[in-house]
Amino acid sequence: MARTDWKFDFGVGEAEAGRVKATADCRYTAERGYGFAGDGTVTARDRGETGRPWRDLIIPAEATFRADLPDGNYTVTLGMGDWILPAWTTVKADPGRLLLLRRRVPIGQFARETIGVCVRGGKLELTFSGPAPRINWLDIAAAPDAITLHLVGDSTVADQPTDGYPYAGWGQMLPCLLKHDVIVANHSASGRSSRSFVGEGRWDEALRQIKPGDYVFVQFGHNDQKTDEARHTDPDTTYVQFLGKYIEDALDKGARPILVTSVQRRYFEEDGSLRDTHGLYPEAVRKLAEERGIPLIDLAEKSGRLLEELGPEASRSLFMHGAPGEFANFAGGIEDNTHFQELGALRIAQLVAEGIREAGLWPLSMYLR
């Protein structure tokens, strides 16, 4: 049976009792089942005095640590700190799911952070970065009973691949806003509508993972507007019919469905007001939520207000707007008024968290950071 728990001691010297030592040159191998993978730089340091707790550590600069695990939910607990320097550490789980953002630990102090992660593909890959990353130890434990927040939606929600950085969906940023008691499982996929997500079997796959007490956030609409038969829905008929299917199927599993209106695109009128590009789709969601008594997060309204507050120029920083050479993965430049870079995806995720509080989603709201 594959191992579902690990306790690592990072740095130099002998491992602490009950832990596996992972030094700076511990490269991943399939036989070992753990180790550093990729091209990042890892440096180890020993801060000195015998008997001093957490005296050794690693400095992982854009470095990825991999541990092989069966698919499922896990908690990851990290020890972070340095006796002689402040630490600033960001942690992401592949592919770019933000777990901790620039966690600061003052000189001579140490922090213990527990985060929740959904593992797929038989491996957990944690990438460490930040102005001054420090990791002392790391524990991984299975969390089969944790509440799962399932996301089904399109590209504005989905986990985007690391080779598209800084392109990100808001679901990719949401984990850093939640305590480890809730684990985000992002099933969303680019280019999908409420119809095609079902037609491709993606909803059936998500349903197999949903258990009683879980939450299911549903955001479609961007691609329901497309005219091809595989994706198009009519806001008055087929759109609400498919949304109704997500609601009924989630309720049948004992889960709690939440409807989310589509996040706004960045298109402005000459007077600076936001142009409506979604037509009747958001109102159809609002009406369905009211009729069925389903909680609603009106992200169309929230994101529209945000974009109008920022205005045409400042709002560029939220979207995939990059000059030639600005984004390494888009060397020729890009102007995209639909999809977010990380900064924008994080800002939208914060609006979703705000909506969770406003909707009184208990106990989910209790687990917001």
Please report, for the domain that includes residue 277, its CATH number. Answer: 3.40.50.1110
> Is there a single domain that holds both residue 214 and residue 242?
yes
> Is there a single domain that holds both residue 176 and residue 278?
yes
Domain boundary among 91, 113, 142: 142
Please give the Cα distance from 273 to 277 (Å, whole number): 12
Domain boundary among 122, 142, 162: 142
1 inside domain: no
> Is there a single domain that holds both residue 209 and residue 186?
yes
> Is there a single domain that holds both residue 124 and residue 229?
no
Give the confidence band of 51 by pLDDT, cuts at 50, 70, 90. Answer: low
> Is there a single domain that holds both residue 188 and residue 250?
yes
> Is there a single domain that holds both residue 79 and residue 191?
no
> Is there a single domain that holds both residue 87 and residue 200?
no
Catalytic (active-site) positions: 155, 335, 339
Domain with 264 in it:
147-367
Q: What is the pLDDT of residue 50?
A: 62
Tell me what the pLDDT averaged over the chain comes to: 96
| Structural domain count of the chain | 2
Domain boundary among 124, 142, 160: 142
Q: What is the pLDDT of residue 16?
A: 87
Tell me the pLDDT tens digit for each residue of 260-297: 999 999 999 999 899 999 999 999 999 999 999 999 99
Q: What is the pLDDT of residue 53?
A: 78
> Is there a single domain that holds both residue 157 and residue 138?
no
> Is there a single domain that holds both residue 108 and residue 202?
no
Rounded to two decimals, what is the model's pTM? Answer: 0.95
> Is there a single domain that holds both residue 217 and residue 231?
yes
| pLDDT above 90: percentage of residues in the chain | 94
What is the mean pLDDT of the segment spanning 42-53?
Answer: 83
